[in-house]
């Protein structure tokens, strides 16, 4: 694949919230829109486990179907979205740092036609989303 057909990037934030609190927010898929401004509507087709599909509608855009392809409690989940030949995977990792700190990482891996254009567009709000997630988690764990 050429460079324009592959795009990867990571965003991270540190928080005082424990992994279990962050995980409880991740598992509550129907509430993601409360802290993620990039979601107008979201529905999940079953439990928060690998293989389950969900449908997310960004504001003013068409709905996207995604699948949970890996789910590890209190540690990580990865979702995959396919649009034609383009595949976008987002890993959401929870990394305990010790000293009552936790790092949350969103890692994007886009492959296929226009990956170098669409990947950055998909990830453009991730710093804001992570900030909102951390704020909610800290409020819940206080």
- Which domains does the chain show, CATH number per domain? 3-141 (3.30.530.20)
**Residue 94 neighbours by CB under 8 Å, 6+ apart:** 19, 22, 23, 74, 75, 76, 102, 103, 104
Alpha carbon distance 102, 8 (integer Å): 23
How confident is the model at residue 1, as a pLDDT? 41
pLDDT tens over the chain, length 142 residues: 447 899 999 999 999 999 999 999 999 999 999 999 999 999 999 999 999 999 999 999 999 999 999 999 999 999 999 999 999 999 999 999 988 899 999 999 999 999 999 999 999 999 999 999 999 999 998 7
> pTM score, two decimals?
0.94
How confident is the model at residue 142, as a pLDDT? 78
How confident is the model at residue 4, as a pLDDT? 81
Q: Which phi and psi (to 5°) does residue 12 adopt?
A: -145, 155
């Amino acid at each position: 694949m050429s460079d324009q057909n592959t795009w990867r990037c990571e965003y991270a934030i540190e928080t005082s919230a424990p992994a279990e609190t962050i995980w409880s927010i991740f598992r509550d898929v129907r509430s993601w829109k409360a802290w993620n401004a990039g979601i107008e509507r979201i529905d999940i087709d079953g439990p928060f486990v690998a293989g389950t599909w969900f449908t997310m509608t960004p504001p003013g855009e068409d709905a996207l179907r995604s699948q949970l392809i890996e789910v590890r409690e209190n540690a990580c989940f990865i979702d995959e979205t396919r649009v034609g030949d383009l595949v976008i995977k987002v890993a959401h990792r929870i990394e305990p740092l010790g000293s009552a700190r936790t790092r949350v990482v969103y890692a994007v891996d886009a492959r296929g036609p226009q990956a170098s254009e669409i990947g950055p567009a998909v990830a453009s709000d991730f710093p804001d989303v992570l900030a909102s997630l951390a704020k909610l988690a800290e409020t819940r764990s206080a």
